[in-house]
Structure 1
């Protein structure tokens, strides 16, 4: 999946829903850094339908992080775990989510303490790395690891002596110590001690200064009768969706790969349409996709993440409007959106469209919101207007904009190709020129551009596309082509060489 920017608990809930739709077998875990107030955040994550919450402590890691991250990496996991467990229990949410913790868990004693503070799963990372031979010299990012754990240098990799047996040996010792501690307190299983903070006490070191810190708030049992009852909750599937109905109706397509066309009404409570169907397609036909196509003709207003992760072999044709995250992680499908009555500059598609798309095509016979094709790495798209931050961090693919664009266009764009039907000078004023710039439209680029506009017309019957194609020679002169500056430099070097 693509990297995601999460701005609210609603965004997180939608992402969890998307991931469960594309992979119904997966457990979705949300990682939270141990910090004061983490209980409220954990409650929101539990309500967002996560299967597990990982409370990550300030300790551990490889040391490859920036200095600011190492110095400001949160609190000990004990503090965050205790608060999350207590607040979740008080809000009757503890039974709906699994708690996991890491950040310096190295021994069986650490595992038992984590269980007593409320964790059911435990991450042991740094200790396992050291068992393989890591010396913690904190040079992971520089390709100079002296023991070859983290290096692409063949000379250094020859020094690596780690084996799976060393890691197995470590975990065997951790498990044995855990069993010994359980036996010493009369417990047979880990489930019996989860949440049992009554079995912990603060060690007194003696001296006025050493005992200033009162850790008793960490050991509060907010629900004594609930201790140990949270284990083995399993994963939480999403509710029935439109995709469930499609899968029942598309048996012929899924069995034999024959082209099939289906039609459905759509409303904005139906989210992530196409993801579960794409999951079934990939499981049945693999990454190559089927010989035929499953064409879904939909009418109405699409909810969040319409066509998220949609795979090769699927076509989604919507007559209406769509909310945010259309084509998130698009993976080979074709999506088209149009309205029954076309109007120029009509906004028919929400924000963050084609976020992290890798392949496939999107045609929007209208304008889209902000952050269009962010982190796109391979998909092609035609849209008739954009808000701010279009094609931000784009690394591949091709985008054609048949209308106005917002500011900060192509910020951080390091690959791909962008065509904008320019109002005189507007595209260049909107362009963030740090990594991308304007270049000529050669014959090959003009052919690619025309092919996409023709495909847009065929998919959406756009009056604007028809008008532009009817006077193509003059239309072509109005386009601006934007590519990464590295591509411009290489092109100039080729011209000098040929000259």
Structure 2
């Protein structure tokens, strides 16, 4: 916002005061230089995440989105910053600042001789609030292991009832009932069956490497049994998984991801897919490429990724062959040529402006787009990568839906949302905001045994989920049935809510934002100025303009010159017979012979 220099005088004074207690033979100058070096590294990391090369370009760049700040407050103090959600102003900021000051200097017995427990990264009693509490994890695991619907309802209630904790934007939404909208509830047996709803679900892009083979294959088997999709993530997949198992199960992931590092991407990998996903960014850490620490790269992982054991793998933040929407269209075209039967997906991060990018993706003839929110986890990255980055998926999804509908593009591209989805209520809100499909990552891992130790990046997961340690992997106890139970519990919750709302078909929910309203029961001094009008806006378009995916993209793959060349060269390819051919070529013939 314009400052060219910052003087962290309180940090300097604190370090000087601590100098005698550090226990090392450090001078004042050395301590301050170490602090400045650490701050510089953090600054450089943030600049690199944003694609900014020079400090001068960073000054005044205003690379922030605001969530929950009043427009008049932004206009005066953060002029030019985007905010889709109205909220607090200067008075509330002052009140919260004073409250923090009083807490720091109060006589509270808990903090008299101790610092605040924090709890920013891991759950702590009296610490930062988390949706995944120990009780929520326990309820979900008991539910899926014992097929106990009541336990799932207890889990869903803990997650959905956020009137007090206010942890997510959607927790502040009210879903209207049938009576509010002049409709009648419908019997549950008239609602679309759970076996169809689960086909809209997918597991998130968790790579083989970030999680163990046991966890990765269990997810794939479970999703294939349901007719849903699992995602390889960006680490490739072992070729032995492409063949069905003797009992009819399949460990093959339906979605094959192509990320900026291209780890594990081969023609064999691409042709064994139902969908190929181009990962432009990740909701949990936008602006950074994937990162797998060296201690998780064992010999098998290295072979699959075509790399060296023990050497850390970092994907670059951008794709180095994509610097415009035309470049993205070229990659979509190339991947479609490799596997014409596979849908092409593009994964984007939720932020202000993502709707314009999604429209470009649709015009580039992608079949599918994923909007990824910041709530999602990441099992292979440093903790510093996942804080203060990204936006709630509610913001990006709403803008994507509005832009695609307004430009008459919505019908030809499927929209998926992911990043912190946990319950059927999340699915309903996502559908009302415009999603056709839904990605789950942390929740199915918890169903399979994850206990949220937050040790994924250290390779020390004690339950064998996010580790390559052969001893720890033996502790994995998850089964496909656990994951299937979870998804069917979610689908049944969706069906129950649809019945109360008066909907029989899931497609009829999609994009119907008039069913959403601000939660009136919220009694919190910071919530009074909230306004979700921009998120709930529904474009005024003719009735024949689709609000959900109901058509196919036209890729013109059959007209590609390579198809004619391959057919003409068939005798040479199959029998070794010399072939001579002659064709005309024009600049409209793309990537011929590639």
**TM-score, normalised relative to structure 2:** 0.44
Are residues 137 and 261 of structure 1, via their aligned partners in 2, closer, same or farther at CA, if it must alter by over 3 Å? farther
Of 413, 418, 441, 1:97 maps to 413
Residue 219 of structure 1 is matched in structure 2 by: 536
User: Displacement of 1:179 after TM fit?
Assistant: 0.8
Residue 140 to residue 260, structure 1, CA distance change in 2 (3 Å) = farther
Q: 1:178 aligns with which of 476, 494, 498?
A: 494
**Distance in 2 between the 1:94 and 1:9 partners?**
18
Offset at residue 208 of structure 1 (A): 4.6
CA RMSD of aligned residues (A): 2.1
Match for residue 591 of structure 2? 272
Q: Tell me what 2:442 maps to.
A: 126
1:164 matched to which residue of 2?
480
1:20 aligns to what?
A: 336
Q: Aligned-pair distance for 1:125?
A: 1.0
How has the CA–CA distance of structure 1 residues 87 and 235 changed in structure 2, closer, same or farther, with 3 Å as cutoff? closer
Structure 1: state its 5+ residue gaps.
Answer: 275-306, 308-499
- Equivalence for 1:231: 549
- Structure 2 CA distance for partners of 1:62 and 1:135, relative to 1, 3 Å: farther
Q: Distance in 1 between matches of 2:525 and 2:535?
A: 21
Alignment correspondent of 1:45: 361
- Structure showing greater radius of gyration is 1
Higher share in helix:
2
* Shift in CA distance, 138/233, structure 1 to aligned 2, threshold 3 Å: farther
Structure 2 residue aligned with 1:244: 563
Q: Within 2, Cα distance between the matches of 1:35 and 1:178?
A: 27
What is the distance in 2 between the residues matched to 1:7 and 1:197?
Answer: 34
Check whether the contact 1:62–1:126 (CA below 8 A) recurs between aligned residues.
Answer: no
1:99 partner SS: strand
Q: Match of 1:189?
A: 505
**Could you say if the C-alpha distance between residues 265 and 149 of structure 1 is closer, same or farther in structure 2, counting changes exceeding 3 Å?**
same
Listed one character per residue, the Cα deviations across residues 4-55 of structure 1 (whole Å, up to 9, x for unaligned) are: 3221111111111110111111111101100011111111111111111100
Q: Indicate the SS of the match to 2:440.
A: coil
Q: Is contact 2:329-2:365 (8 Å) kept?
A: yes
Partner SS, residue 129 of structure 1: helix
> Against the structure 1 CA distance between its residues 234 and 61, is the aligned structure 2 distance closer, same or farther, given a 3 Å change threshold?
farther
Q: In the TM superposition, what is the alpha-carbon distance from 1:140 to its structure 2 partner?
A: 1.9
1:349-368 counterparts in 2 under 5 A?
none
Shift of residue 250 of structure 1?
3.6
Q: Are the equivalent residues in 1 in contact too, given 2:411–2:550 (CA < 8 A)?
A: no
Do the aligned partners of 1:62 and 1:138 also contact (CA within 8 Å) in 2?
no
1:263 match: secondary structure: coil
Partner of 1:209: 526
Unaligned runs of 5+ in 2: 1-257, 263-318
Question: More strand by proportion, 1 or 2?
Answer: 1
Distance 1:75 1:244 in 2: 43
Q: 1:93 to 1:227 in 2, by over 3 A?
A: closer
What are the Cα deviations for residues 361-400 of structure 1, in whole angstroms up to 9, with x where unaligned?
xxxxxxxxxxxxxxxxxxxxxxxxxxxxxxxxxxxxxxxx
Q: Deviations over 1:237-265 (max 9, x none)?
A: 33512123224434434664534232323
CA distance in 1 between counterparts of 2:526 and 2:364 reads: 43
The 1:226–1:196 alpha-carbon spacing in structure 2 relative to 1, beyond 3 Å, is farther
Distance, in Å, in 2 between the alignment partners of 1:122 and 1:220 is 21
Retained in 2: the 8 A contact 1:46–1:93? yes
Q: Give 1:235 deviation, angstroms.
A: 5.0
Partner of 1:446: none
After superposition, residues 475-494 of structure 1 pair within 5 angstroms as none
Separation of aligned partners in 2, 1:226 and 1:174: 31
Q: 1:185 to 1:126 in 2, by over 3 A?
A: same
Greater shift after overlay, 39-48 or 167-176?
A: 39-48
Query: 2: distance between equivalents of 1:228 and 1:135?
Result: 42
DSSP-derived class of the 2:526 partner: coil
- Higher mean alpha-carbon deviation, 235-244 vs 90-99, is at 235-244
Task: Count the aligned residue pairs.
Answer: 275
Whose relative contact order is higher, 1 or 2, with alpha carbons under 8 Å and at least 6 apart?
Answer: 2
Deviates more, 1:88-97 or 1:26-35: 88-97
* Contact preservation (8 Å) 1:89, 1:223: no
Determine the C-alpha separation between the residues in 2 that align with 1:62 and 1:18: 29
CA shift for structure 1 position 120: 0.3
Deviation at 1:132, TM superposition (A): 0.6
Alignment of 1:456-495 (within 5 A): none
User: Shift of residue 73 of structure 1?
Assistant: 3.1
Distance 2:570 2:378 in 1: 49
8 Å contact from structure 1 (residues 196, 228) kept in 2: no
C-alpha change, 1:174 and 1:228, in structure 2 (3 Å) is farther
1:99–1:119 Cα contact (<8 Å) kept: yes
